Structure 1
Amino acid sequence: MDSSKQENALPQDQELELKLPHLLSTKTVRELYTQIVNEWDFLRKSACQTAAGRALWKHVIDDPLAEVLAGETYLRNLHEKIKKDRHNNARETSGVILAVRTLWFDSKIEAALDSFGGAAQVVLLGAGMDTRAYRLSCLKECDVFEVDFPEVLQVKAALLQVALESTENLRLMAKSLTRVATDIRENDWLEKLQLSGFVPEKNTIWVLEGIIYYLSHSQAMQVLKVVAEKCTLTHTVLLADFMNKASTTLSNSTFHFYSDWPDQLLPSLGFSHVKLSQIGDADAHFGLMHDPLNLFNKLRNLPRSVETHPDDGTPCCRLYLVQASGSPDQNNFLENHANVI
């Protein structure tokens, strides 16, 4: 088998017709998804698209709740794209970027918790249909906070209740889970988070997965600054994915915030350590990026300053996976060092 075919190899059942779980046909779930289809905007619906990616890449992501949270429409849409990609022997199978992104965040959360000694707060900003509190055993000593729109959290809670009542061996893995109904585009989201039990002085991992580019520049910077300020109080880790400017042109009406150099932006806000990865790098590979000629590997081999691909003139659309951290000890060291100089 050549590398491109190996990369696109999915479990055998993915080649057949999509097998939908019985729960999706129940009255309660159908009514909830009617609400999603009729009332949610693109940003809210993107949560279901992400869940569909986890569900259909289940050979690498263990998420038994993903199918119910994705819903029939989004499962069918992504399944059709995957079948088309397989038929065309595409070098990038639909959903692979969601799979790699999910696995990268999972691995970095676990590594950060190891560095903390296991106990911490984990704040999922724009949590959507995230299920980490139910599927990551590394969260067993963690207080998890899911922050999102009230209607998203309400529908999600209802879907999870149906799934948990109908499926054995599914339970909360985290020490605790608190849902915080608020819009991170507003200025009072941190206050609402603290009223829900978040303690600013406790070690915290902040997760911004698949969300920050939907915000305006001022909204995104406000969120990043709030998180960066916590570096002066406690050990703080930020995990986020950033689009570069070219990527936002994929949908002028949907994507707004971008950063071509987030590894320079975040230190300017107060983070002392920043590591940037691209899809296909050693820590953002997960055995899914074998083909050296796929889009992501071709981009990795170009300097980040290159805006259009020399082979075909297409924009270099990049997604950066970024881990940033800081702590009071590091900040004191930097201040003292600056004073000496």
Structure 2
Amino acid sequence: MSEQENSLPQAPKWTDYKLPDLLFTDAVRQLHATIGKEWDALQQSACQTAAGRALWRHVIHDPLADLLAGEKYLRSLHEKIKKDCINNASEISGVILAVRTLWVDSKLEEALHPSHGKDTQVVLLGAGMDTRAYRLGCLKECDVFEVDLPEVLQMKASLLQAAMEYTSDHQNQRIIAKSLTRVDADIKGNDWLEKLKVSGYEPEKNTVWILEGILYYLTHPQAMQVLKIIADKCKITRTTLLADFMNKPSTTLSNSLFHFYSDWPDHLLPSLGFSHVKLSQIGDPDAHFGLLHDPSNLFNRLRSLPRSIHTNPDGTPCCRLYLVTASGSPNQTLEPVDLSLNIST
């Protein structure tokens, strides 16, 4: 048995979950009512992600997740989880969000290791309801920038303020990062980088860029523009990208809001200027975290198939989520890419 299997997290008692009283205060309810009425599906996905972090609390420490998710999304995901448990499902709803969160957390900590230099800034594009600046100790020496639409950032600030007014214990609302700057900008547009610079981002400083749960909502030209802007920074300073990519079948599902895809992000990113790229799939050794107990789960089945296959043996789309780390710096050269590669690893 591997070390990872020896340290499996204890399975939670999903039925014991209780919504925190804070969610039933007038202020918080009114704010989440506004989200329900005025936010589009992309903006609301930020609350869905927060719900995943809240309900997988046995492996993710995010005390603010309940508040930012809201009653609607917490109840919805909790019902799905309970049904999965009753049906002995091979994977539990929300596990993909939990794995993705833990993967980004772990890769961010690696990227901020002292051997890579202490003077590093972190930029979250499409930050949504992210709270890493409040919960990760590895950010204590980092300037953090959250970039998103003004209504999203203002709503998050309003929810955090409502929580501070509700309780005298403000421990969870304290920023751990050296600094946190919220930047009102739409990464679909052309001016977000300039707004980031005006807000204090320094192009010459080592930077970790996080694109979590956002790229596939963009059109192909929009996503490529964002990736090219980040890749260009490799010519100036040590640059690290942490991002998740969908493959083409994932964007063809009915009612899909997804547009951008890449079946081979480990080929795409070197072509843009990143010198080192590592790709993982859910269930790989660095993207497992002891959360996928059933050997027959969906993600293990996907990993057993070549990445070039777009249709499962049963005829359903072969939908994959790739977790990708890419980096580069002025003194690094591009590694050769084997374009004939079509295996799952």
TM-score tier (shorter): over 0.9
Q: TM-score w.r.t. structure 1 length? A: 0.92
Q: Offset at 1:160? A: 1.3
Structure 2 stretches of 5 or more lacking a match? 1-7, 336-345
Contact 1:8 1:92 in 2 (8 A): no
1:228 maps onto 2:237 in alignment? no
Larger relative helix fraction: 1
Q: Indicate the residue corresponding to 2:92 in structure 1.
A: 93
Cα distance in 2 for residues equivalent to 1:251 and 1:151: 29
Q: Indicate the residue corresponding to 2:161 in structure 1.
A: 161
Cα distance in 2 for residues equivalent to 1:184 and 1:54: 24
Q: Offset at 1:163? A: 2.4
Cα distance in 2 for residues equivalent to 1:139 and 1:230: 21
The residue matched to 1:130 in structure 2 has which SS?
coil
CA 1:169–1:315 in 2, change beyond 3 Å: closer, same or farther?
A: same
1:72 maps onto 2:65 in alignment? no
Q: Offset at 1:253? A: 4.3
Superposed CA RMSD in Å reads 1.5
1:186-214 deviation line (CA, Å, top 9, x unaligned): 01110000010000000000000000000
Q: Indicate the residue corresponding to 2:130 in structure 1.
A: 130
Q: Count residues with an aligned counterpart.
A: 324
Q: Offset at 1:226? A: 0.3
For structure 1, which segment, 27-36 or 269-278, has the greater mean C-alpha deviation from structure 2 after superposition? 27-36
Cα distance in 2 for residues equivalent to 1:22 and 1:106: 28
1:193-245 deviation line (CA, Å, top 9, x unaligned): 00100000000000000000000000000000000000000000000000000
Q: Which runs of 4+ in 1 moved over 4 A?
A: none
Q: Offset at 1:290? A: 2.6
Letter in 2 for 1:321: L
Contact 1:55 1:67 in 2 (8 A): yes
Cα distance in 1 for residues equivalent to 2:25 and 2:118: 39
The residue matched to 1:44 in structure 2 has which SS?
helix
Cα distance in 2 for residues equivalent to 1:95 and 1:229: 34
Letter in 2 for 1:293: S
1:199 maps onto 2:241 in alignment? no
CA 1:96–1:263 in 2, change beyond 3 Å: closer, same or farther?
A: same
For structure 1, which segment, 147-156 or 161-170, has the greater mean C-alpha deviation from structure 2 after superposition? 161-170
Q: Indicate the residue corresponding to 2:311 in structure 1.
A: 308
Contact 1:124 1:207 in 2 (8 A): yes
Q: Indicate the residue corresponding to 2:264 in structure 1.
A: 261
1:8-28 deviation line (CA, Å, top 9, x unaligned): 97412x224x41111111111
Cα distance in 1 for residues equivalent to 2:254 and 2:161: 35
The residue matched to 1:328 in structure 2 has which SS?
coil
For structure 1, which segment, 156-165 or 59-68, has the greater mean C-alpha deviation from structure 2 after superposition? 156-165
Q: Offset at 1:63? A: 0.5
CA 1:204–1:8 in 2, change beyond 3 Å: closer, same or farther?
A: closer
1:113 maps onto 2:116 in alignment? no
Q: TM-score w.r.t. structure 2 length? A: 0.91
CA 1:217–1:252 in 2, change beyond 3 Å: closer, same or farther?
A: farther
